[in-house]
Structure 1
Amino acid sequence: MIPLMLDLTGRRVLIFGGGGVGARKAAHFEHEAEVTVISRSFSPRFDGLSVRRHETDLASLPDDAIVELLDGAFLAVAATPDPALNNRIGRLCASAGVLFNNAAGKPGDVIIPSVVRGRNYLIAISTGGKSPAVSRYLRMRLESEYADLDRMIDLQEEMRSILRETEPVQAERSRTLWKILLDDEIRELLALDYGRARELAITRYLHA
């Protein structure tokens, strides 16, 4: 598999299954895609999510009815507790050319990763389904140990802008930015006072 970041604005995503797993999958996509959840019942965890609900008994639907539901979809997620039903949905997605993620059953062609998100960055973590606990552990460690990452990205952007005006050699600009990134004192200051961290970076590395 190849990791990609996709813009799903305006794309149609189908979630088959209205339980807790389906709600978690829907929450992953609802801020960007047009999400429709298909199920005969819906967990309270869907309350507050910006998704459409399509109430039907999936187990009783014939193949042609599921294919009709898939029309126009970019991605489908099978999140029912029945692996056989999920696998059937996956086979229909393959024949319809719709990307597929399977929560329980044969793996599809899309993995939904654990995500670490800030104002300026997005990190996706996956173990290929082998250990969701490890993915969650890595996400928690990153969120804890790099709480200042957004501010560092802000600082790097500002320093890059200054260096473009003052340092003509690209290699030197890169070296300076790397030194700022690795400076523990600057990182400690970022957690407390962006202005003081900025002043130290300029004094120590741009006016040296």
Structure 2
Amino acid sequence: MIPLMLDLTGRRVLIFGGGDVGARKAAHFSHEAEVTVFSRSFSPNLDGLTIRRQEGDLSALSDEALRDLLSGAFLAVAATPDPELNDRIGRLCAEAGVLFNNAAGVPGDVIIPSVVRGNRFLVAVSTYGRSPAVSRYLRMRLEADYADLDRMIKLQEEIRPMLRETEPVQAERSRILWAILSDGEIRVALTADYARARAMAIERYLHA
């Protein structure tokens, strides 16, 4: 598999199954895509999400009815507790050219990763479905160990154009930016006082 980051604005995503698993999948997409959750019942975890609910019994639908539901979809997620039903949805997705993620059953062609998201960065972690616990552990470690990352990215954004004005050699600019990133005192300062960290970076690395 090849990791990609896709803009799903305006894309239609279908979630089959409205339980807790379906709710997690819906939460992953609802901030950007147009999400419809199809299910007989709906988890309270779906409350507050920007989604459309469509009530119905998936197991009672014919293949033709499922194809109609898939029409116009960019991606579908099978999140029912029935692996056979999920696999059936996956086969229909393959026929229709719809990307497919399977929560239980034969793996689809899309893996939904564990995500660490900041205002200026996005990190996706996957164990190819082999260990969701490890994916969650890595996500939690990244969130805890790099709490200053958003501010560091902001600092680098500000420093880069300053360096372009004063340092003509690209390799030297890269070295300075890496030194700022590796400076433990600046990293500590970023967690509490951005202005102080910025001043330290300028004094140490631009006025040296």
TM-score bracket, shorter-length normalisation: over 0.9
**Structure-1 residue corresponding to 2:40:** 40
Q: Aligned partners of 1:46 and 1:109: how far apart in 2? A: 25
Aligned to 2:8: 8
Query: 1:18: which partner in 2?
Result: 18
- Residue of structure 2 equivalent to 1:64: 64
Distance 1:111 1:65 in 2: 26
Partner Cα distance (1:176, 1:24) in 2: 41
Deviations 1:39-86 (A, max 9, x none): 111111111111101111000101010001000000000000000000
Superimposed CA distance per residue, residues 120-156 of structure 1 (whole angstroms, 9 cap, x where no aligned partner) = 0000000000000000000000000100000000111
Structure 1 match to 2:173: 173
Q: Within 5 A, what are the aligned runs for 1:51-90?
A: 51-90=51-90
TM-score in terms of structure 2 length: 0.99
Name the CA distance, whole Å, in 2 between partners of 1:98 and 1:52. Answer: 19
For residues 17-166 of structure 1, what are the structure 2 equivalents within 5 Å?
Answer: 17-166=17-166
Q: Which runs of 5+ in 1 are unaligned?
A: none
After TM superposition, the runs of 4+ consecutive aligned structure 1 residues lying more than 6 A away are none
Q: Which amino acid aligns with 2:57?
A: D
Matches of 1:146 and 1:46, distance apart in 2 = 29
Query: How far 1:164 sits from its partner (Å)?
Result: 1.0
Aligned counterparts of 1:18 and 1:195: Cα–Cα separation in 2 = 46
Q: How many positions carry a matched residue from both structures?
A: 208
Give the SS at the match of 2:54: strand
SS in 2 for 1:36: strand
RMSD: 0.5
Instruction: Quote the Cα distance in structure 2 between the aligned partners of 1:183 and 1:29.
Output: 36
Structure 1 residue 100: Cα displacement: 0.0
Q: 2: distance between equivalents of 1:82 and 1:66?
A: 16
Q: Distance in 2 between matches of 1:55 and 1:111?
A: 26
CA distance in 1, matches of 2:170, 2:48: 49
TM-score, with structure 1 as normaliser? 0.99
Letter in 2 for 1:54: Q
Task: Supply the distance in 1 between the matched residues of 2:192 and 2:129 (Cα, whole angstroms).
Answer: 38
2: distance between equivalents of 1:50 and 1:180?
40
- State the one-letter code of the partner of 2:54: H
What is the aligned-residue identity percentage?
Answer: 78
| Aligned-partner Cα distance in 1 for 2:18–2:149 | 36
Look up the SS of the partner of 2:192 in the other structure. coil
Structure 1 SS opposite 2:3: coil
Structure 2 CA distance, aligned partners of 1:21 and 1:64? 25
